[in-house]
Amino acid sequence: MVTSHVAKARHLLLASAAMTLILGASPVLAQDAPPDPATALEDHGTTPQDQYQPSLDVLAEQDVTAPGAPEGVAALTDEQYNEANKIYFERCAGCHGVLRNGATGKALTPDLTRELGFDYLESFITYGSPAGMPNWGTSGELNEQQIANMANYLLLDPASPPEFGMAEMKETWEVKVAPEDRPTQQMNDWDLENIFSVTLRDAGQIALIDGNTYEIKRVVDTGYAVHISRLSASGRYLMVIGRDAKVDMIDLWMEEPDVVATIKVGSEARSVETSKMEGWEDRYAIAGTYWPPQYVIMDGDTLEPLKIVSTRGMTYDEQEYHPEPRVAAILASHYRPEFIVNIKETGKIQLVDYTDLKNLKITEIETERFLHDGGLDSTKRYFITAANARNKLVVIDTKEGKLEAITDTGGETPHPGRGANITHPEYGPVWATSHLGDDSVALIGTDPEGHPDQAWQIVSSFPALGGGSLFVKTHPESDHLYVDATLNPDAAISGSVAVFKVSEMKAGEDPEIITLNLAEMAGITGGQARAVQGEFNKEGTEVWFSLWNAADQESAIVVLDDKTLEVKHVIKDERLITPTGKFNVYNTMGDVY
């Protein structure tokens, strides 16, 4: 039940992606979604007066004193403020930023939110938008009082987050099992290459699931809301990083795989990776943080922090100082001993040569602002990444170490995950992305030798199910392209995936959409189970989707036969609490997507 002024304000809700909350928790807006008044929140500026008033979400686990309320804004008690602070950290900061100044989502600084007012904010939080903002109230995820607190919270001045340097990192660093005490060979009988590392978001765990038997082999405690899992080049060590910036190294060779080293590298983070260049396999790991804005290179056996690099600096375009350039995607080059690091707010990609940490060499490439996620083309030479708030794709030649192209996707807020490499019948090798802000899927040509006229151009754009998509997926052995719509507030859409048959795609024509309602197929009736992040098994014969429900509702993993698109298995288990990302060891180790 919502208050009467919320109900009256329902038709004023935004339908844009302005307040999109990446991987926030759940469920469903009524089908009569409100119309789009479109422009209530302005783009966050790049001038000093528009930037970076101190903020909050990194203080989620600390009790802080509520700031004073200006005239016309309701004050929160310390208890209410700390609860709202925690909600913001867990649900909102991924898009709107540690300092509430946006990137994928728009700015939520008090100068903007106070213009909108309490009623407007409370309504938007309650009902969400079709472009990806979850409907926290009608889904039951937040109660009436929590929503009111969040609306007031966004009207208040935020608190200042702390720095996190070498001393703080070393205080958290722990080697639980020394390298010399670890196994010298695999001590279990697991088919390690077909193990899935599955994020159990709200439980602060990952589940290791056997891709052959669908058995949950082990659940491992990790940081909160693991964002990604990455494998060392050898496939022995599984690295996971939570949104709380806790990195855990899991030794898959142990009889019971478990954490052998851990470190907290900041207050909020998204990315971890290991060195993959021949001769440097497993030598180093790297983790990038949203706060503080920096990345750290660590020892690949122990996670000992060796080198911290700040990303604070000037934006590439207006050459103005930016105090919060967050580190988004990080990949390891297969062509050079380098890490590829996306610096979100300044619009720069750094190629970090890890051969000599004392005399560190960094190639800084000016690209486009608000760099987020991305992946490699089928040759693993070209890194394609989304500058999502600018609706562009950036292409980096990792062999030559230079910018190759920047192109507009034609859609609103591209969010590819690692993307998907397919061979189009007419355009040849292409890489796909979907979008948060609309229903479009864009294909970019990736074959400069075989199809030079189409290289790095958007060769096709076609509709999928709706806005709110987070991931596209395929496999070299598959003839299908899968597209989710996880953050769409329509229950029928968010619980489904769109499937396109690659071999039947034609130039200039929208391919046929096959819609699979996975929530229905899995028999999930309570809450709102959202289909998210397809991941193939090692052989490319099955694709797994999480059905991500609220923590107190039943979730599941649906395993589809890629040839028939029929359900092969549904994994249900009380331990599957809010499953989201899944990472197959073989595919993740080899960047197969």
Which residues belong to the active site?
92, 95-96, 133, 372, 415
What is each CA distance from 199 to 188, 261, 487, in whole angstroms?
Answer: 22, 19, 17
Specify whether the CB–CB gap between 399 and 384 falls below 8 A.
no
Cis, bond preceding 579 (omega within 30 deg of 0): no
Chain centre distance of CA 276: 22
Q: For residue 14, give the nearest of 108, 130, 92 by alpha carbon.
A: 130
What is each CA distance from 558 to 51, 115, 407, 534, 581, in whole angstroms?
Answer: 43, 44, 35, 10, 13
Q: For residue 335, give the nearest of 290, 380, 298 by alpha carbon.
A: 380
Tell me if residue 162 falls in helix, strand or coil: coil
Tokens encoding 234? 């050898």
Specify whether the CB–CB gap between 139 and 528 falls below 8 A.
yes
- Residue reference for tokens 């979400």: 57
Strands (E), 425-490: 428-433, 440-445, 458-463, 472-473, 480-484
Beta-carbon contacts of 425 under 8 Å, excluding residues fewer than 6 positions away, are 502, 503, 504, 505, 506
**Which residues is 515 bridged to in the sheet?**
498
Specify whether the CB–CB gap between 528 and 28 falls below 8 A.
yes
Longest dimension (CA), the chain: 66
- Residue reference for tokens 């309570």: 526
What is each CA distance from 457 to 382, 411, 432, 487, 530, in whole angstroms?
Answer: 14, 14, 12, 28, 32
Between CA 220 and CA 259 the distance in angstroms is 8
Strands (E), 438-510: 440-445, 458-463, 472-473, 480-484, 496-501
Strands (E), 201-245: 205-210, 216-221, 226-231, 237-242
Specify whether the CB–CB gap between 408 and 392 falls below 8 A.
yes
Q: For residue 387, give the nearest of 374, 397, 400 by alpha carbon.
A: 374
End-to-end Cα, the chain, rounded Å: 44
What is each CA distance from 380 to 431, 581, 589, in whole angstroms?
Answer: 12, 22, 13
Strands (E), 265-387: 268-274, 284-291, 294-299, 305-310, 313-314, 321-322, 327-332, 338-343, 348-353, 361-366, 371-376, 382-387
Tokens encoding 245? 């910036």
Which H or E run contains 534? strand 530-536
Between CA 75 and CA 73 the distance in angstroms is 6
Tokens encoding 84? 């709202």
Between CA 97 and CA 276 the distance in angstroms is 30
